[in-house]
Amino acid sequence: MKQAFLVFLGGGFGSVLRFLISKPLNIVSPNFFFGTFLVNIFGCLLIGLILGLSARGNVLSTNSTLFLATGFCGGFTTFSAFAFEKHFLLRNSELLHFSIYMISSIVVGILAVVLGLWLSKLGE
């Protein structure tokens, strides 16, 4: 239960920070979501640092890693986990799985958004 609370707490902090960063920066250009892009890239850097430090041993505890990587980065951006997972597949020379997962995540994700928008209009 303690670990679930740490993930919950970290996710809340990450979500609020994402909102505070991306909302004002996304206004800069209507054709490029700079705030979201910045958050996603910074989240990728951050999860790499956190998981790298965690792998070193006595640098971060399991609870700290859960709070920071799963919670904070997960709330800040799920793109960071997505990118780390792709790195894992590449590092293990899983090029076919990498390609299938990458392409299907993007295509199916966009299609899911389109479907959700379409479903939301059914009641009109």
Predicted pLDDT of residue 124: 59
Predicted pLDDT of residue 33: 79
Beta carbons of 14 and 79 less than 8 angstroms apart: no
Residue 31 above 70 pLDDT? no
Write out the DSSP string of the chain. Answer: -HHHHHHHHHHHHHHHHHHHHHHHHTTS-TTS-HHHHHHHHHHHHHHHHHHHHHHTSTTS-HHHHIIIIIIIIHHH-THHHHHHHHHHHHHTT-HHHHHHHHHHHHHHHHHHHHHHHHHHTTT-
At 119, is the pLDDT very low, low, confident or very high (cuts 50, 70, 90)? confident
Residue 54 burial (10 A CB sphere; 0-12, 13-18, 19+): middle
Beta-carbon contacts of 26 under 8 Å, excluding residues fewer than 6 positions away, are 33, 34, 35, 36
Beta carbons of 97 and 87 less than 8 angstroms apart: no
More confidently predicted of 109 and 12:
12
The overall average pLDDT reported for the chain is 88
Residue 123 above 90 pLDDT? no
Percent of the chain with pLDDT over 70: 96
At 17, is the pLDDT very low, low, confident or very high (cuts 50, 70, 90)? very high
pLDDT digits (tens, 9 = 90+) for 68-85: 999 999 999 878 878 888
- 74 carries a ligand binding annotation: yes
> What's the mean pLDDT in 51-65?
87
